[in-house]
């Protein structure tokens, strides 16, 4: 459909396009945009935009399809207070009747600059002490023009005393990273495509640390927090994150950024989507105490490696269907099992290699993930590829019967397909080669570059795999993606030296972390019960049933998602009482008797289940090669922590 979507020599074609875009960018006057975040604590951003224009009809737009969101998630509905002026006179506008992200105007003769004021109601990632600006909340630019061809010069104003963290390059003589009160911080001219990919984080309590200082280019973690003590990360955390940078360097042996900034926001008040990948940075938002001690949640740890991996997988190399010339054209998700699945795989592998998670914890996470996917009855009707194609329909959070619908399984099904491929390569080559070789070939294509997008097709994935070992990879992938597969692909686990079994005690990972991991995987709270693999229920601490496994014992007892368990076998509900009820019914003829409330109706449900509690675990198969252990072994030698604070505020 567009010039960059050729399956041949995409990199070469793109490089030529990029060169043209760059020279065009230097000749065209740039849009000037000043984002005023002074009202961020009041959940409002403001922008003043000056656009070079010529007389006649003009269509301006805001972004609709946001890269990395895999759905039309632009902020048009929350962009308010829009006023256009030319030479000080207001100009009327009309929204496009079909594309609601577009504004139509007529520019009078003689006018060369159009001024726009707009506000954005901020619904995510903002608190009274910090904010993250995703530029799509304020961007306004000519419609129907490739966004990489539109030059733009950004500036920001932040609340008094707040500091700024971003991968954008500051220019001018202003104080940085803590600007003088009310003054704008100016950044170098870029293009709309890159600006959208370069968020600005700001906050009162700010620290910036250099990670792995011996590695070039420079890596930073910029941290803001609601409480003054939380942004000053502990040396242990900084040492682990430095190891992450070293492990990624040893794995990919290339980089595609001029500098990289992990942007970390620690807040219990900020809500909404808080993690997102970018080419030269990543948004990582967690609870305010997430990194304050060693009891933190593992998913919080693996999120940073995941978003960082996206700089290679998703940002530099991107499926053709997910790379459109503008943010108006629908993105096509069929290859999300590479974009997200391979990232999920290497995100967790790098987390373990860097020491943020132990190999045993990694196996625990794999067991929880595999078991849930294996008990997802939606596999009976929907292929894994369809979860990718339909991604934008599946990203709307949890719903009742989510297991019959299936979720965004291209992440985790993808992860297990890549584990299958990795162990296949290792076994075939007696561990002389691995998926790491593919990562270097495919994600490091062309060596080091600045921020750049090089699209790919499935054929190119297959060719890259064949450069590692000759195999019918096309069939390998198609069988796992295009077909109805009732079960998760466990070949990689089994070839890796383990098998998925169900124990009558919780996975040590679950027990050690007081259910927090289970809570993460199941969406319940810490006191909830994951009885998915036994009676087919996930229940929160207060007895609310979050979901019922389609065709499982709970479903057969006609239990409704959203109902609340009042009593189990005549005893008032608690998580322990439910678990005891499941254990006590083992091997006996009597059902587990529940009393449940749905709306204002109380009824009973008898669950005919007698196999006791079942908790997934990966069990070692002695006498077989332990490829899982090989996969998570560090590639780089850990180095003593020498974190250096480059800047801090408060």
Of residues 225 and 280, the one with the C-beta less far from Zn ion: 280
Nearest to Zn ion of 364, 414 (CB atom)? 414
* CB 275 to Zn ion: min, Å: 8
Q: How far is the CB of 473 from Zn ion (least distance, A)?
A: 23
Q: With respect to Zn ion, which residue has the nearer C-beta, 395 or 650?
A: 395
Report yes or no: 518 and 528 within 8 Å, Cβ to Cβ: yes
Size of the site for Zn ion (CB under 5 A): 1
Report in angstroms how near the CB of residue 309 gets to Zn ion at its nearest.
8
Least Cα distance to 305 among 371, 376, 243 occurs for: 243
In 3D space, the residue among 556, 534, 558, 538 whose CA is nearest the CA of residue 547 turns out to be 538
Contacts of 25 (CB under 8 A, 6+ apart): 149, 151, 189, 191
Preceding peptide of 4 cis, ω within 30°:
no
Q: Residues 398, 403, 409, 414: is their CA dihedral positive or negative?
A: positive
CB of 87 to Zn ion, least distance (A): 46
| Buried-exposed string 593-609: b where 16+ CB fall within 10 A, e elsewhere | bbbbeeeeeeeebebeb
Per-residue contact flags (x/-) with Zn ion for residues 339 to 378, judged by CB under 5 A: -x--------------------------------------
Of 181, 150, 126, nearest to 49 by C-alpha is: 150
Q: 279 vs 286, 299, 520, CA distance in Å?
A: 20, 21, 27
CB within 8 A of 388, min separation 6: which ones?
Answer: 333, 334, 335, 336, 337, 410
Which residues within the stretch 556-585 sit at the binding site for Zn ion (CB under 5 A)? none
Cis amide prior to 192 (ω within 30 degrees) = no
CB of 244 to Zn ion, least distance (A): 16
Q: How far is the CB of 83 from Zn ion (least distance, A)?
A: 37
Q: Which two tokens stand for residue 648?
A: 């801090």
User: Distance between CA atoms of 439 and 254, rounded to whole angstroms?
Assistant: 10
Q: How far is the CB of 340 from Zn ion (least distance, A)?
A: 5
Rounded least distance, CB 307 to Zn ion, Å? 7
Alpha carbon distance 638, 649 (integer Å): 30
Instruction: Looking at residues 311 to 340 of the shown chain, list those that interact with Zn ion (rule: CB under 5 A).
Output: 340
Q: What is the DSSP-derived secondary structure letter of residue 313? A: B
Residue 211 in 3-state DSSP?
A: strand
Cα separation, 191 vs 406, whole angstroms: 38
Nearest one of 329, 277, 8 to 134, comparing CA atoms: 277
E strand or H helix at 11: helix 10-27
Which C-beta is closer to Zn ion: that of 176 or that of 520? Answer: 520
- What's the closest the beta carbon of residue 57 comes to Zn ion, in angstroms? 39
Please answer whether residues 128 and 226 qualify as being in contact, where contact means their C-beta atoms are separated by less than 8 angstroms. yes
Q: How many CB atoms lie within 10 A of CB 618?
A: 26
Nearer to Zn ion, 249 or 340 (CB): 340
Contacts of 77 (CB under 8 A, 6+ apart): none
For residue 29, the minimal CB distance to Zn ion (Å) is: 36
Q: How far is the CB of 391 from Zn ion (least distance, A)?
A: 11
Subset of 29-88 contacting Zn ion (CB under 5 A)? none
Residues near Zn ion (CB under 5 A) are 340
């Amino acid at each position: 459909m567009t010039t960059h979507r050729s399956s041949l020599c995409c990199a070469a074609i793109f490089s030529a396009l990029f060169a043209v875009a760059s020279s065009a960018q230097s000749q065209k006057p740039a849009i000037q945009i000043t984002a005023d975040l002074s009202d961020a604590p009041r959940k409002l951003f403001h922008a003043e935009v000056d656009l070079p224009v010529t007389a006649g009809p003009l269509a301006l737009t805001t972004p609709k399809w946001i890269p990395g969101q895999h759905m039309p998630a632009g902020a048009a509905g929350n962009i308010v207070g829009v006023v256009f002026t030319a030479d000080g006179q207001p100009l009327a506008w009309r929204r496009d009747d079909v594309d609601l992200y577009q504004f139509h105007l007529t520019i009078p003769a003689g006018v060369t600059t159009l001024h726009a004021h707009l506000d954005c109601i901020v619904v995510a990632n903002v608190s009274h002490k910090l904010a993250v600006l995703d530029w799509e909340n304020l961007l306004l630019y000519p419609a129907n023009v490739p966004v990489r061809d539109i030059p733009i010069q950004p500036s920001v104003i932040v609340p008094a005393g707040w500091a700024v963290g971003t991968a954008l390059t500051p220019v001018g003589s202003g104080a940085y990273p803590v600007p003088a009160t009310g003054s704008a911080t100016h950044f170098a001219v870029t293009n709309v495509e890159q600006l959208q990919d370069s968020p600005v984080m700001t906050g009162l309590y700010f620290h910036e640390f250099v990670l792995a200082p011996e590695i070039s280019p420079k890596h930073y973690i910029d941290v803001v927090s609601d409480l003054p003590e939380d942004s000053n990360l502990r040396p242990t955390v900084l040492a682990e994150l430095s190891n992450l940078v070293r492990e990624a360097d040893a794995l990919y042996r290339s980089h595609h950024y001029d500098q990289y900034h992990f942007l970390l926001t620690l807040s219990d008040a900020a809500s909404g989507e808080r993690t997102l990948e970018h080419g030269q940075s990543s948004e990582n938002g967690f609870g305010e105490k997430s990194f304050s001690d060693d009891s933190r949640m593992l998913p919080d740890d693996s999120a940073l490696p995941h978003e960082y991996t996206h700089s290679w997988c998703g940002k530099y190399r991107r499926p053709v269907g997910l790379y459109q010339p503008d943010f108006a054209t629908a993105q096509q998700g069929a290859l999300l099992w590479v974009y997200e699945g391979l990232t999920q795989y290497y995100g967790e592998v790098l987390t373990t290699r860097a020491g943020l998670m132990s190999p045993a914890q990694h196996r625990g996470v794999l067991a929880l993930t595999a078991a849930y996917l294996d008990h997802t009855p939606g596999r009976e009707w929907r292929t894994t590829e369809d979860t990718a194609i339909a991604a934008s329909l599946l990203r709307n959070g949890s719903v009742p019967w989510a297991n019959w619908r299936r979720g965004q399984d291209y992440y985790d099904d993808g992860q297990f397909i890549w584990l299958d491929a990795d162990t296949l390569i290792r076994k075939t080559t007696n561990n002389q080669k691995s998926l790491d070789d593919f990562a270097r070939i495919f994600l490091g294509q062309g060596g080091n570059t600045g921020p750049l997008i090089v699209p790919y097709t499935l054929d190119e994935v297959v060719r890259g795999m064949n450069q590692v070992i000759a195999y019918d990879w096309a069939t390998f992938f198609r069988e796992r993606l295009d077909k109805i597969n009732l079960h998760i692909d466990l070949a990689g686990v089994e070839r890796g030296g383990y098998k998925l079994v169900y124990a009558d005690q919780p996975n040590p990972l679950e027990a050690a972390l007081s259910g927090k991991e289970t809570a993460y995987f199941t969406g319940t709270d810490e006191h909830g019960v994951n009885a998915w693999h036994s009676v087919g229920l996930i229940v929160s601490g207060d007895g609310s049933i979050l979901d019922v496994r389609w065709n499982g014992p709970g479903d057969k007892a006609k239990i409704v998602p959203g109902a609340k368990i009042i009593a189990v076998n005549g005893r008032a509900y608690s998580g322990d009482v439910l678990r005891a009820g499941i254990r006590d019914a083992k091997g006996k003829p009597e059902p587990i008797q529940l009393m449940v409330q749905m709306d204002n109706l109380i009824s009973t449900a008898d669950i005919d289940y007698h196999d006791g509690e079942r908790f997934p675990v990966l069990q070692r198969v002695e006498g077989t090669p332990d490829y899982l252990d090989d996969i998570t072994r560090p590639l780089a030698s850990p180095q003593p922590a020498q974190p250096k604070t480059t800047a801090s505020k408060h």
